Amino acid sequence: MIDTIVQEVREARAEIAAEFGHDRAKFWAWARKQQEAERKAEHQLPTSPNKTLETTGGAAKSPVTRKRRVRSARVSA
User: pLDDT (tens digit, 9 = 90+) per residue, 9-18?
Assistant: 999 999 999 9
pTM above the 0.85 mark?
A: no
The Cα–Cα gap between 25 and 23 comes to: 6
Give the number of other Cβ atoms within 10 Å of residue 27's Cβ.
Answer: 15
The string of pLDDT tens digits covering residues 20-58 is 999 999 999 999 999 999 998 888 766 555 655 555 655
Which has more pLDDT, 3 or 54?
A: 3
Torsion of CA 24, 30, 32, 37, to 10 degrees: -170
Which of 50, 49, 67 minimizes the C-alpha distance to 58? 67
For the chain, which residues make up each domain, given as ranges?
1-44
**pLDDT for residue 26:** 96
